[in-house]
Amino acid sequence: MSTKKSMKKSVKKNASKVTKASARKTKVAAVRKGAKAPKRVVAKAARKGSPVASAADFMAHAYAMEVEAAERYAEFADSMEMHNNREVAELFRKLSRIEQRHADQILEQMGWKQSPLTSLKVRWEGMEGPETADPTELHYLMQPYHALQIALHNEKRARDFFAHLAKVTKDAGVRKGAREMEEDEAEHVRLIEAWLKRTPKPDPNWQTDQDPPVLSD
Amino acid sequence: MNSPAVAAPLTAQAFKSDYKPIWCPGCGDYSVLSSFTKAFAKLELRPENVAVVSGIGCSSRIPAYTTCYGFHGVHGRSLAAAAGLKLARPDLTVVVASGDGDGYSIGGNHFLHACRRNVDLTYVVMDNHVYGMTKGQPSPTTEPDWDSKLSPGGTGLRTFNPLVIALAAGANFVARAFAGDPNGTAEIIAEAMRTPGFSFVEILSPCVTFRPEQREWKQLVRPASVPSTDDAARAARRLMTDDGMNIGVLYQGERKPYQPPVGKGKKRPSDLEAEFAL
């Protein structure tokens, strides 16, 4: 089997593993189904002394986090597709679908008929959500290995975010939810690490382009 | 700005067209596009009530990537086209997208007079301190010592300071945002659109292809330590010590937007159209 074919197979296999693991993500028993989405929340969840106010706030932020991550991966997929890097585009597209599925599961879990984002004012401690990929990490010649490294970094950030939130919150419901999310994110980290081990490492000269776009170098 | 629509609010996604953006991977303009659509959704606008007008350059591709009305105009002339549109169709919300080359060089004179006229427009300039589309020439905001094959040793020219110019020329709203903060940028754009008159938003939008060092901007930018002011003199004093990395709204004035004089000779767009009919 060619490297490309085996990589595609690996991408599919691992994507389904991550999805299954994530299905448990939204099982936050402490959060009441049908809880009203918060009108306005200042998302300084990770800042000491000012955690999210309630379990419903927490889930709204978890939802925002997943949506932002899904949108960013979709943007990456579009960008890679436009630059004819289809293999990486496909991987980002899958990651986007996975994150969107998590977001949809949160809506379902909470019994929210519509996205809480229309009324939620989200401001993260950093500039973006803890699971949102940094666009400046992209390269038009990047390979699946690089994309997985980006995903791994984001899953680790998400895990650490929930771990910290669980530590600083005074709300028992938020703590329980954050602990469960932390466990799920930790599982994602392990899955992506395993996925990376099976993914060919890029050639040291992967960035070499015989016809580069930059004239000013 | 036109009144928010009464229909159910649309999501940001509803303002994104099916065209996939043609920008380099990692370009800050992706996030600016996202901020545009988030701002439109936040203001509960409808695509048919918004027009996005642009000039030429990477940033000026934005109209095609939205579901709003769009006009991809002539280099440096986006403000002229947008002002004409807004005066002819005051019911539309008109947003103008530009870059530092398009907006501050060839379009520099239009920028000055748009600030002075104070037509109800929101002018968003994606500033990456370089002409990206034409492969890396220095722009008016390029540092004087930026060394490249196209400008060996740097241009040695003093940089253009867009916020100072906007304030001095009379813009009613002046702000700086950062592409790496799409949610914050969306809020600033929305606030600019809510403010009557000419609103100017400068967005630091990294060009990772020709200015890879701009990846560091995310470590350098910071929220301005003081709130916005309606006192132009105070805002000007703040700019004296500004290093170009403070983000947020600097100035929000109360000038009445320009309205065309109403008189006997005033013609409606349909009258003008009739004159041009063959």
The region, left, alpha or beta by phi > 0 then psi within -120 to 50, assigned to residue B18 is alpha
Confidence of residue B3 (pLDDT cuts 50, 70, 90): low
User: Which range, A101-105, A174-178, B241-245, B274-278, is most confident?
Assistant: B241-245
**Would you state the pLDDT for residue A31?**
36
CA distance A1 to chain B (A): 30
Mean pLDDT of the A16-24 span: 43
What pLDDT does A50 receive? 42
Chain A hits for B178, Cβ within 8 Å: 127
Amino acid B249: pLDDT: 98
Q: Which two tokens stand for residue A157?
A: 């950030």
Residue A61 contacts residue A69 (beta carbons within 8 Å): no
| Cα–Cα distance measured from residue B203 to residue B51, given in angstroms and rounded to the nearest whole number | 20
Rounded average pLDDT over A89-113:
92
Whether pLDDT at B215 is above 90: yes
User: What pLDDT score was predicted for residue B268?
Assistant: 77
In percent, the amount of chain B with pLDDT more than 90 equals: 87
In this prediction, residue B46 carries a pLDDT of 97
> Per the CB < 8 Å rule, is A216 touching B210?
yes
DSSP β-bridge partners for residue B229:
B251
- Which pLDDT belongs to residue A117? 73
In this model, does residue A149 exceed pLDDT 80?
yes
Answer yes or no: are the C-beta atoms of B203 and B185 closer than 8 Å: yes
Percentage above 90 pLDDT, chain A: 48
Rounded to two decimals, the ipTM of the complex is 0.84
CATH of domain A10-198: 1.20.1260.10
Render pLDDT for B71-104 as a digit per residue (tens, 0 to 9).
Answer: 999 999 999 999 999 999 999 999 999 999 999 9
At a CB cut-off of 8 Å and minimum separation 6, what does A84 contact? none
**Would the pLDDT of A26 be above 70?**
no
Closest Cα in chain B, distance from residue A83 (Å): 8
Name the residue ranges covered by the structural domains of chain B: 26-276
Q: Has residue A217 got a pLDDT over 70?
A: no
Picking from B246, B185, B188, the residue whose alpha carbon sits closest to that of residue B220 is: B246
Say how many C-beta atoms besides its own lie within 10 A of residue A174's C-beta: 27
**Per-residue pLDDT tens digits for B38-78:** 999 999 999 999 999 999 999 999 999 999 999 999 999 99
Give the model's pLDDT for residue B189.
98
What's the pLDDT score for residue A215?
54
Helix (H, G, I), strand (E, B) or coil at B167: helix
A217–B9 CB contact, under 8 Å: no
What distance in Å separates the CA atoms of residue B274 and residue B112, rounded to the nearest whole number? 33
A77 three-class SS: helix
Say yes or no to pLDDT of B171 above 90: yes
Provide the mean pLDDT of chain A.
78
Domain range B26-276, CATH class: alpha beta
Q: What percent of chain A has pLDDT over 70?
A: 71
Q: What is the pLDDT of residue A19?
A: 44
Q: How far apart are CA B106 and CA B84, in angstroms?
A: 19
Q: For A87, phi and psi rounded to 5 degrees?
A: -65, -45
For A59-82, what is the mean pLDDT? 93
pLDDT of residue A163: 95
Which of A115, A123, A127, A140 to mutate against chain B (most B CBs within 10 Å)?
A: A127
HSE value, Cβ hemisphere, 13 Å, CA-based, for A171: 18
Selection from B138, B129, B130, B127 nearest residue B204 by Cα = B127
Is the pLDDT at B145 greater than 90, yes or no? Answer: yes
Closest CA to A188 of A42, A17, A13: A17
Q: Strand locations in B110-209, DSSP E?
A: 122-127, 173-178, 199-204
Pick B181's closest partner by Cβ from A80, A122, A127: A127
Question: In B100-152, at which residue ranges do the beta strands (DSSP E only) sit?
Answer: 122-127
**Which distant-in-sequence residues (6+ apart) come within 8 Å of A203 by Cβ?**
none
Query: pLDDT tier at B10 (50, 70, 90 boundaries)?
Result: confident
**Residue, of B174 and A42, whose pLDDT is higher:** B174
Q: Do A80 and B25 touch (CB under 8 A)?
A: yes
